[in-house]
């Protein structure tokens, strides 16, 4: 994967030193982009070190199940959330933390159950009825600054709505889900880094593409994970909706290399990337294109063992400490 080498080079050549909350400074570049042709170039697994693929797909499955406990991530084979859940003093002191291993309403909770509220004047019955038809339920009548209102609530399954739209209205340019919930930023171990996922189906070609925006990206540890995870999600969505994964475009806001990761990334630059592997999703995950049956419940049924990399050649493992 040449794109990852190029990103490392760009940051080493043009980055500037920045301080941040972790106490480990970074070499940072404001804004970077990589694009992958998944159909013709294969799966974007980093090859200049060993990608912890089992951990990546474990994390993805935990997100798909709306997990908020590092214990659930561990049970699916992913340990990378332990430190954020249990070793950051600010989070340990946060009143929203529900005890050992809790992360708060992170990624999957927002993807699958974004807390949606409406506060509607009690006399707007047409609005209230419309909201109820859309799945909102009345929580309580209340007085708001002297006006009688009704509070309604719905947990919004943004990801499921994306799949529904891909199947029913693929020309839509509004097929996206968001992980950044401003009302919950004070209640999470870490505000979402990969936060905006937009699916772009091409109904004529039966191809689907993904644009992903990552606000802050740890190029040494986070980027390989986030790339593999975004691409695996696109493959899964394609399988369940009848589309072939095509372009995966990856945008980064603050693209940075931690000072204690410099040896790791420089070592990777001395290594020649291998050809990309292929992602295989197990046959038991039904292909809409073959069955003609829409089965979005597989978003929750999928297991880490349903994902495999075929022909994954990689250089020797290297790792470095994660900044907490």
Ligand X SMILES: O=c1ccn([C@H]2C[C@H](O)[C@@H](COP(=O)(O)O)O2)c(=O)[nH]1
Ligand Y SMILES: Nc1nc(=O)c2c([nH]1)NC[C@@H]1CN(c3ccc(C(=O)N[C@@H](CCC(=O)O)C(=O)O)cc3)CN21
Residue numbers at the binding site for ligand X (CB under 6 A): 20-21, 190-191, 193-194, 216-218, 222, 226
Cβ proximity to ligand X, 20 vs 172, nearer residue: 20
Look at residue 284 and give the partner it binds from ligand Y, ligand X, none, a contact being a CB closer than 5 to 8 Å depending on partner kind.
none
Residue 21 assigned as binding residue = yes
Look at residue 216 and give the partner it binds from ligand Y, ligand X, none, a contact being a CB closer than 5 to 8 Å depending on partner kind.
ligand X
Interaction residues for ligand Y, span 174-213 (CB under 6 A): 190
Residue of 130, 197, 117, 131 whose CA lies nearest to 163: 197
| The binder of ligand Y chosen from 42, 170, 191, 222 (CB under 6 A) | 222
Among 5-13, 89-97, 214-222, 233-241, which window interacts with ligand Y (CB under 6 A)?
Answer: 214-222
In the residue annotation, 193 being an active-site residue is answered as yes
Cβ proximity to ligand Y, 254 vs 306, nearer residue: 254
Residue 174 assigned as binding residue = yes
Cβ proximity to ligand X, 244 vs 260, nearer residue: 260
Judge contact between 59 and 229, C-beta under 8 A.
yes
Among 79-87, 96-104, 168-176, 305-313, which window interacts with ligand Y (CB under 6 A)?
Answer: 79-87
Look at residue 55 and give the partner it binds from ligand X, ligand Y, none, a contact being a CB closer than 5 to 8 Å depending on partner kind.
ligand Y
Residue of 15, 54, 64 whose CA lies nearest to 220: 15
Cβ proximity to ligand Y, 179 vs 222, nearer residue: 222
Q: Which residues have CB under 8 Å from 294's CB, separation 6+?
A: 167, 240, 241, 288
Separation between Cα atoms, residue 127 and residue 121, nearest integer Å? 9
Residue of 210, 233, 235 whose CA lies nearest to 289: 235
Q: Which residues have CB under 8 Å from 22's CB, separation 6+?
A: 258, 323, 324
In the complex, least distance from residue 21 CB atom to ligand X, rounded to whole angstroms: 5
| The binder of ligand Y chosen from 47, 84, 110, 268 (CB under 6 A) | 84
Look at residue 20 and give the partner it binds from ligand X, ligand Y, none, a contact being a CB closer than 5 to 8 Å depending on partner kind.
ligand X
Look at residue 133 and give the partner it binds from ligand X, ligand Y, none, a contact being a CB closer than 5 to 8 Å depending on partner kind.
none
State the residue number with the nearest CB to ligand Y: 222
Would you state the structure tokens that stand for residue 230, as one six-digit string?
Answer: 């975004």
Residue 271 assigned as binding residue = no
SS3 assignment for 282-320: CCCCCCHHHHCCCCCCHHHHCCHHHEEEECCCCCCCCCC
Residue 216 assigned as binding residue = yes
Residue 112 assigned as binding residue = no
Residue whose structure tokens are 């946060």? 94
Separation between Cα atoms, residue 274 and residue 96, nearest integer Å? 45
In the complex, least distance from residue 255 CB atom to ligand Y, rounded to whole angstroms: 12
In the complex, least distance from residue 56 CB atom to ligand Y, rounded to whole angstroms: 8
Look at the chain and count its residues.
324
Distances in Å between the Cα of 56 and the Cα atoms of 52, 199, 230, 231, 296 are 6, 20, 10, 11, 21
Separation between Cα atoms, residue 200 and residue 271, nearest integer Å? 34
SS3 assignment for 25-48: CEEEEEEEEEEEEHHHHCCCCCCC
Residue 122 assigned as binding residue = no
Look at residue 80 and give the partner it binds from ligand X, ligand Y, none, a contact being a CB closer than 5 to 8 Å depending on partner kind.
ligand Y
Give the residue numbers of the binding site: 21, 173-174, 215-218, 226, 256-258, 323
Residues known to be catalytic: 193
Residues that bind ligand Y (CB under 6 A): 52, 55, 79-81, 84, 190, 218, 221-222, 225, 319, 322-323
């Amino acid at each position: 994967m040449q794109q990852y080498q190029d990103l490392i080079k760009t940051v080493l050549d043009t980055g500037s030193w920045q301080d941040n909350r972790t106490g480990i400074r970074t070499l940072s570049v404001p804004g970077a982009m990589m694009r992958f042709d998944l159909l013709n170039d294969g799966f974007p697994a980093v090859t200049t070190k060993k990608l912890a693929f089992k951990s990546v797909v474990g994390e993805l499955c935990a997100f798909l199940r709306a997990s908020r406990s590092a214990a659930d991530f561990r049970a699916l084979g992913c340990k990378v959330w332990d430190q954020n859940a249990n070793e950051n003093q600010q989070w340990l002191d946060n009143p929203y933390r529900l005890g050992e291993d809790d992360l708060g309403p992170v990624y999957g909770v927002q993807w699958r159950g974004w807390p949606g509220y409406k506060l509607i004047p009690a006399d707007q019955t047409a609005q209230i009825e419309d909201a109820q038809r859309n799945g909102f339920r009345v929580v309580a009548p209340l007085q708001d600054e002297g006006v009688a209102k009704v509070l309604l609530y719905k947990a919004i399954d943004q990801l499921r709505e994306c799949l529904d739209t891909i199947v029913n209205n693929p020309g839509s340019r509004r097929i996206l889900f968001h992980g950044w919930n401003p009302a919950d930023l004070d209640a999470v171990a870490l505000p979402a880094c990969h936060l905006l996922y937009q699916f772009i189906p091409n109904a004529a070609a039966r191809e689907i593409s993904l644009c992903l925006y990552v606000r802050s990206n740890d190029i040494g540890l986070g980027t390989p994970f986030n790339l593999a995870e975004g691409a695996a999600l696109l493959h899964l969505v394609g399988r369940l909706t009848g589309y072939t994964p095509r372009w995966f475009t990856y945008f980064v806001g603050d693209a940075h290399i931690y000072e204690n990761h410099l040896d790791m990334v420089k070592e990777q630059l001395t290594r020649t990337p291998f050809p990309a592997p292929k992602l295989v999703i197990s046959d038991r995950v039904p292909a809409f294109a073959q069955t003609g049956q829409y089965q979005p419940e597989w978003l929750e049924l999928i297991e880490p063992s349903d994902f495999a990399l075929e022909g994954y050649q990689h250089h020797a493992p290297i790792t470095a400490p994660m900044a907490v």
